Structure 1
Amino acid sequence: MMYDLSRPILSGMPVYPGDPPVQVKPLSFPPWQISELHMGSHSGTHLDAPRHRFATGVGIDDITPDRLIGPGIVIDVGGYPANAELGPSVLAGYKLRPGMAVLFRTGWEVYWERDEYARHPYIGAALAEALVQREVRLVGIDAFSVDSTVAGGDAAHTLLLRNNILIVENLCHLANLELGVIYTVACFPLLIVGGDGAPARVLAWRATGFDPS
């Protein structure tokens, strides 16, 4: 079974505070129908490229396809209070290998379209550094940001993107994935030239032929 972990794009959807609003405007050219799209590069479920933090960093169009698909695992960090900093201890009991995607399930997606969504738990600097040391290829979260949205800051973004670890934010439906199970995780961003980020379709399915030991 294939799982879609992506937010639908529609007018008026939640965006990170200060980002451009999303507008999908149908245009009619009988007998054809097209739509005019207005949105920021970090709207909905999206991929952050290193250029999001570093002006001369890798852009969306520089990311090779092999970096966008590979083994991944869900880590449950549910039950933490609003704006809680997540530390390295949340990795205990999980076997992470170099090249994995690590998806953090905070459970905060239940607050989508509510003010509480901006007060999600976030990845602290020590946890980000632990992920760097484990040489993961991608870090995802079911929230606006890997950093605190209400307090600002950029420690997680800086540490991960400096080390060419991609970031996916605003994931959803992570509760459909089993903990401890290795999935194939694929993230397909729009191919924006020089892009700092791009809306993405993120899919997961059970991996085959992968030794989890």
Structure 2
Amino acid sequence: MILKHSKDKRAVFDFEVDFLNGGGLQGQGFRLDIDGEEIADCDLSDAVVRDLRLLMVDGVRILNKQIIEERHKRCVAGSSADVNRLSVPTYVDLSHTVHEGLVTLKGFPAPVICDFLSREDSRKYYDADTSFQIGRIDMVANTGTYLDSPFHRFEYGKDLSELELASLVGLDAVVARVTEREGRAVGREVFLPLEVRGKAVLVETGWSRHWATEQYFEGHSFLTREAAEYLRDAGAVLVGIDSYNIDDTSDGARPVHTILLGAGIPIVEHMCRIEELPTSGFRFTAVPVKVKGMGTFPVRAFATLGAP
């Protein structure tokens, strides 16, 4: 069962900060997730100093405070503490279902799924009341929710068969939420508040709500070159997104694929249900079939909550 808060509260306020060495800082419309129905000004002041990591603060004034009902951004599926208290692991499937006729990329063929050996035909080979089905699928590798290995972009990069399981299974993970941002480009500033070193970074854009519609193919959110460079330099080990492409597809440059795959950082695209995850405190797994000479293949991507 996924933990959710039915009536999350947030404080919306302005603030002014004075520093001991002179100068000040102002903020308007600052928002903070809170527990309960109210929060004292002194606690808001502490949160501003703590979350912004301010030094030499002389005083903080809280102005125009309001308490509103709005979904928590850092605690969508329960807090990290709540998740870690789960007595047994809970799994969240982050993959779309692959089915006959599914179009993942515009202009690419849909998979053809059929019987290689039907149950009816198999009966001639086995005892009475014994039958089997052996399926067959014809599809391009970029179907459904899939993982890109370095070989997808680079001729001499690691292919699917060369990826270490340790780079794909049980990764510490964090979520960057960008559903309320204006514009399509997701910049490096989104990732600055997150500890991404050694972690899988999952980007929730909300675009998966358009899955299996014509709208899914146009106008999707994507990462900028600067964001990819930041994630690479900050030590992310995998990057996933619930969008049509992690790159801008309006031209042929594809800098995000180049930067991340060039650094050996796998990419998982076309994810879903990231909104059900907490911001941190969970593990992520996405394992493709071990195929030699291929750079991309569908995965069963999932999050594990409450894992030790």
Does 2:98 align with 1:9? yes
Larger Rg: 2
What is the aligned length? Answer: 206
Does 2:224 align with 1:86? no
SS at match of 1:201: coil
Could you tell me whether the CA contact under 8 Å between 1:108 and 1:117 is conserved in 2?
yes
Corresponding letter in the other structure for 2:283: T
Shift of 1:79: 2.7
Structure 1 CA distance for aligned equivalents of residues 113 and 288 of structure 2: 18
Match of 1:113 in 2: 212
In the alignment, which of 277, 282, 289 is matched to residue 183 of structure 1?
282
User: Relative contact order: is structure 1 or structure 2 higher (C-alpha 8 Å, sep ≥ 6)?
Assistant: 1
When the two chains are superposed, the root-mean-square deviation of aligned CA atoms in Å is: 1.6
In the alignment, which of 122, 130, 134 is matched to residue 222 of structure 2?
122
Residues 65-86 of structure 1 deviation map (CA, whole Å, 9 limit, x = unaligned): 111121011110113456x111
Match of 2:174 in 1: 73
Report sequence identity in percent: 30
Match of 1:47 in 2: 147
Shift of 1:45: 0.6
Match of 1:134 in 2: 234
Corresponding letter in the other structure for 1:182: G
Residues 114-162 of structure 1 deviation map (CA, whole Å, 9 limit, x = unaligned): 2221221101100000001111110000022111234443100000000
Structure 1 CA distance for aligned equivalents of residues 252 and 104 of structure 2: 15
Structure 1 CA distance for aligned equivalents of residues 288 and 159 of structure 2: 11
**Runs of 5+ unmatched residues, structure 1:** none
**Runs of 5+ unmatched residues, structure 2:** 1-89, 123-130
Structure 1 CA distance for aligned equivalents of residues 152 and 222 of structure 2: 18
Corresponding letter in the other structure for 1:37: I
Match of 1:18 in 2: 107
SS at match of 1:153: coil
Corresponding letter in the other structure for 2:106: P
Structure 1 CA distance for aligned equivalents of residues 224 and 255 of structure 2: 7
Shift of 1:198: 0.9
Structure 1 CA distance for aligned equivalents of residues 192 and 153 of structure 2: 29
Match of 1:101 in 2: 200
Residues 19-46 of structure 1 deviation map (CA, whole Å, 9 limit, x = unaligned): 3321211341333212220111111111
Corresponding letter in the other structure for 1:205: T
Structure 2 CA distance for aligned equivalents of residues 141 and 189 of structure 1: 16
Could you tell me whether the CA contact under 8 Å between 2:207 and 2:244 is conserved in 1?
no
Match of 2:297 in 1: 198
Normalising by structure 2, what TM-score? 0.64
Normalising by structure 1, what TM-score? 0.91
